[in-house]
Amino acid sequence: QSKNHDAHRVMRNIPGPPSRSWMKGNIMQYFTRHGRAFQRDVALNYGPVVRLQGPLGRKILYVSDPKALHTIIIKEENVFEEPESTLITFNLLFGDCLVGSLGENHRRQRKLLNPVFSVNHMRHMLPMFYNVIFKLREVVMAKVRGGEKEIDVLEWTGRAALELIGQGGLGYSFDPLVSDKEARNEYGDALKAMLPALMNIESLRQILPHLVKMGPKWFRRLATDIFPNAHVQTVKHVVDTMSKRSQEIFREKKAALKSGDEAVLRQVGEGKDIMSILLRANTAASDADKLPESQMVAQMSLLVFAATDTTSNTLAHILQLLAEHSNVQSKLREELLQSGAGTGNTSYDELMKLPLLDAVCRETLRVHPPATLLVRVPRKDSILPLSEPVIGLDGTIIKDVPVPEGTEIVIGVFGSNVNKSLWGEDALEWKPERWLSPLPRAVNDASIPGVYSNLMTFLGGKRACIGFKFSEMEMKVVLAVMVSNFVFELEKEIEWNVAGVDYPTVVWDGDRPQLPLKVRVYKS
Under the binding rule (CB under 6 A), the answer on residue 98 touching ligand HEM is yes
Question: Considering the complex, what minimum distance in angstroms separates the CB of residue 331 from ligand HEM?
Answer: 23
CA 187 vs CA 172, 240, 294, 304, 342: distances in Å: 11, 10, 18, 10, 30
Q: Which residues, including other chains, have CB under 8 Å from residue 385's CB and lie 6 or more apart?
A: 67, 68, 71, 399, 400
* Contact present, 163 and 125 (Cβ < 8 Å): no
Window contacting ligand HEM (CB under 6 A); options: 300-308, 385-393, 418-426, 477-485: 300-308
Question: Considering the complex, what minimum distance in angstroms separates the CB of residue 2 from ligand HEM?
Answer: 34
> Closer to ligand HEM at the Cβ: 53 or 308?
308
Question: Considering the complex, what minimum distance in angstroms separates the CB of residue 370 from ligand HEM?
Answer: 5
CA–CA gap between residue 522 and residue 319 (Å, rounded)? 15
Question: Considering the complex, what minimum distance in angstroms separates the CB of residue 24 from ligand HEM?
Answer: 24
Q: Tell me the pairing of strands 408-411 and 59-63.
A: parallel
186-200 and 230-259 helices cross at what angle (nearest 10)?
140
Window contacting ligand HEM (CB under 6 A); options: 232-240, 336-344, 460-468, 502-510: 460-468
Find, among 337, 369, 371, the residue nearest to 354 by Cα. Answer: 337
Among 459, 478, 480, 482, binds ligand HEM (CB under 6 A): 459
E strands in 40-106: 49-53, 59-63, 80-81
> Closer to ligand HEM at the Cβ: 99 or 354?
99
Among 333, 431, 463, 476, binds ligand HEM (CB under 6 A): 463
> Closer to ligand HEM at the Cβ: 133 or 390?
133
User: Which residues within the stretch 160-189 sit at the binding site for ligand HEM (CB under 6 A)?
Assistant: 165, 169
Under the binding rule (CB under 6 A), the answer on residue 110 touching ligand HEM is yes
Torsion sign (Cα): 114, 118, 120, 123: positive
Under the binding rule (CB under 6 A), the answer on residue 467 touching ligand HEM is yes
Q: Which residues, including other chains, have CB under 8 Å from residue 515's CB and lie 6 or more apart?
A: 152, 153, 154, 316, 317, 319, 320, 494, 504
Q: Which residues, including other chains, have CB under 8 Å from residue 262's CB and lie 6 or more apart?
A: none
Three-state DSSP at 53 gives strand
> Closer to ligand HEM at the Cβ: 496 or 522?
496
Phi and psi dihedrals of 445, rounded to 5?
-75, -20
Among 11, 14, 93, 466, binds ligand HEM (CB under 6 A): 466
Closest residue to ligand HEM in the complex (CB) = 467
Question: Considering the complex, what minimum distance in angstroms separates the CB of residue 301 from ligand HEM?
Answer: 11
Torsion of CA 232, 165, 182, 485, to 10 degrees: 140
Among 89, 310, 364, 454, binds ligand HEM (CB under 6 A): 310
Under the binding rule (CB under 6 A), the answer on residue 372 touching ligand HEM is no
Among 46, 130, 423, 458, binds ligand HEM (CB under 6 A): 458
> Closer to ligand HEM at the Cβ: 419 or 471?
471
> Closer to ligand HEM at the Cβ: 101 or 485?
101
Three-state DSSP at 520 gives strand
Among 414, 470, 486, 488, binds ligand HEM (CB under 6 A): 470
Burial of 224 (0-12, 13-18, 19+ CB in 10 A): middle
HSE, CB side, 13 Å, CA atoms: give it for residue 123: 7
Question: Considering the complex, what minimum distance in angstroms separates the CB of residue 322 from ligand HEM?
Answer: 16
Residue type at 405 in one-letter notation: E
Among 407, 471, 505, 514, binds ligand HEM (CB under 6 A): 471
Under the binding rule (CB under 6 A), the answer on residue 314 touching ligand HEM is yes
* Contact present, 360 and 479 (Cβ < 8 Å): yes
Among 191, 302, 352, 398, binds ligand HEM (CB under 6 A): 302
Question: Considering the complex, what minimum distance in angstroms separates the CB of residue 1 from ligand HEM?
Answer: 33
Among 89, 457, 484, 505, binds ligand HEM (CB under 6 A): 457
Under the binding rule (CB under 6 A), the answer on residue 371 touching ligand HEM is yes
> Closer to ligand HEM at the Cβ: 361 or 443?
361
Window contacting ligand HEM (CB under 6 A); options: 60-68, 235-243, 302-310, 491-499: 302-310
Residue type at 140 in one-letter notation: V
Centre a 10 Å sphere on the Cβ of residue 480 and count the other Cβ atoms it contains: 26
Question: Considering the complex, what minimum distance in angstroms separates the CB of residue 457 from ligand HEM?
Answer: 5
Find, among 144, 216, 213, the residue nearest to 180 by Cα. Answer: 144
Positions in the binding site for ligand HEM (CB under 6 A): 98-99, 110, 165, 169, 302-303, 306-307, 310-311, 314, 370-371, 374, 457-459, 463, 465-467, 470-471
